[in-house]
Structure formats: C-alpha cells, structure tokens
Amino acid sequence: MIFSLILAIGLLLTSLLYLLRRRFAKTALTGELLNPSVFSFFTTIYAFFLGFAIVTLWSAYLSAQTNVSREADSLMVAFRVSKTLPNSGALRQTLMDYVKSVVADEWPAMEAQDAMSEKADRAWDGVWEAYLRLKPENKMDNDIYLEVGSRLTQASQHRLFRSLSTQSNLYPPIWVIIVFGFITVLYGLYFHHMRQSPVNLTFDFMVIFVVLCCIYFIYDIDTPFSGFVVVKPDVFTLIYAKMLALQ
C-alpha cells in the first residue's frame, strides 16, 4: 500500500510537470536555461547524500538487531548460571518478569512513542535488587555469583544502547538536504525536459519514483524500532519460553 501511494505521488508529480511545461514553456529554447552538466553534477551530489543516509541507517539497524540478540543472550546465560546458586529462585523469577515486560510493554512503547517502558524499567531494577540480595555461601558460589553479575552488567549495557537506538539516527541537517534536494530535482527535471516526449515523461516518472522510494526508506529506517522495517522482539519471546521450560 505504501509503494502504491508512492507510485500515485510519482504519477501526480510527473503529470504536474507535464502540465506546467505545456502552460509556461513558450519556446523550446527555454530548455537551454539549465546546463545539463550542472544538473548532472547536482544529482551526483544528491545521490551521494541519499546513499550516505541509507548506508548509515542500515548499519545502525543491523547494530540494533545484533545488540538485541546479545542482550537476550546475556539474560539467558544469567538465568541458566543462577540455577546453581542457593536461594536464587527470586532472581530467576524477576528475570522472567523482566523479559515478559520487554515483550509486552517495552516493544509497543518503542514502536509507538520511540521511548522505553517505565514498567520494564522497574522490572529491570527488580532484577538487580534480587541479585544484590543473594549471598554466596562459599568460594565456588562466589565465582558463579560474579559471573551472573557480569552477565547482568552486559545486559544493562545492551539495554542502554537499545534506549539510545530508539531515537533518530540521522543527523538532522541531512533531512534539510534530502527535502530541498528533492525539490531541486523536480526543478531540474522541469527545465531539462522542456521538449516533451513519452520517453522524457517516462524518465521523469522513474526518477521521481526512485527518489521518493529512497526518501521513504530513509524515513522508515531512521528509527529501528518503529515503522515498517523494525527490529522485532522474537529473540526475547524465545528466551522467555526457554525460561518457562527451565523454571
């Protein structure tokens, strides 16, 4: 549906260029007002910025996806290792409550508001409180206790990274270049194809459609936890099922 809308907008803008040329272009010589080499130079620069934005945001998306997997893995290891500690049932229960809250509360909040869930945040505080209440009885238990703490520290770092990733990952002035550049592309196409033909109109449409698709992709992937292309909580759902089975 989104690409159908982009297609409709592309056809609308192409038709608008056609009508404007018919109404305001009095002579074919008007097309000489725009130097083709200047237009080519500008489109090259604009394509560079579009490519830069796409590569940057795609890298941020992949990093967010990897970070989520590492966070879930740290939680799962902490859950498994803690089973050998005496009186660690409360810690494992808080871990399960936290993972459940991440899936049920935090992911919808990140998708709708680009923000973390306060309920999940309180559940994470509960995990640390349960961990700090544990008292190792011997040296072996102390080593395991420290390993659990190390895994929880890693999960905390990954959670912080996930919190930062909910915000826009693109430098704001780049949006000015992208929007203004698209307007300039339309301006350039208008004067570059004054002598209208089916071939020129088709080329206008192809350029407009591709640029609009790139802009939409940049807008959608700017925040990896909201939009159409998103990092999903499947790995948290998976480890929650494993925790239930191991409890």
Kindly list the domain boundaries of the chain, sorted by start residue: 74-169+236-246
Predicted pLDDT at 238: 95
Contact between 130 and 90 under an 8 Å Cβ cutoff? The reply is: yes
Closest CA to 3 of 211, 202, 179, 213: 213
Predicted pLDDT at 28: 45
What integer is the mean pLDDT of 55-74? 93
φ/ψ of 139, rounded to 5, equals: -65, -40
Predicted pLDDT at 35: 64
Predicted pLDDT at 112: 87
What integer is the mean pLDDT of 138-145? 81
User: In percent, how much of the chain has pLDDT > 90?
Assistant: 42
In this predicted structure, the answer to whether residue 119 has a pLDDT above a threshold of 90 is: yes
Q: What are the residues whose beta carbons fall under 8 Å from the beta carbon of 187, sequence distance 6 or more?
A: none
Predicted pLDDT at 29: 47
**161: pLDDT confidence band, cut at 50, 70 and 90?**
very high
What integer is the mean pLDDT of 140-151? 88
CA–CA gap between residue 127 and residue 86 (Å, rounded): 16
Q: What are the residues whose beta carbons fall under 8 Å from the beta carbon of 43, sequence distance 6 or more?
A: 185, 188
Q: Which helix (H) or strand (E) holds 114?
A: none
The region of weakest confidence among 65-74, 218-227, 234-243 is 218-227
**171: pLDDT confidence band, cut at 50, 70 and 90?**
confident
- Per DSSP, the residues of 169-211 read -S-HHHHHHHHHHHHHHHHHHHHHT-S--HHHHHHHHHHHHHH
The greatest distance separating any two alpha carbons of the chain, rounded to the nearest whole angstrom, comes to 93
φ/ψ of 168, rounded to 5, equals: -60, 135
Predicted pLDDT at 5: 81
**105: pLDDT confidence band, cut at 50, 70 and 90?**
very high
In this predicted structure, the answer to whether residue 157 has a pLDDT above a threshold of 60 is: yes
Contact between 106 and 120 under an 8 Å Cβ cutoff? The reply is: yes
CA–CA gap between residue 242 and residue 240 (Å, rounded): 5
What is the residue-averaged pLDDT of the chain? 85
Contact between 224 and 90 under an 8 Å Cβ cutoff? The reply is: no
What integer is the mean pLDDT of 101-110? 93
Query: What angle is formed at CA 115 by the lines to CA 162 and CA 103, rounded to 5 degrees?
Result: 70
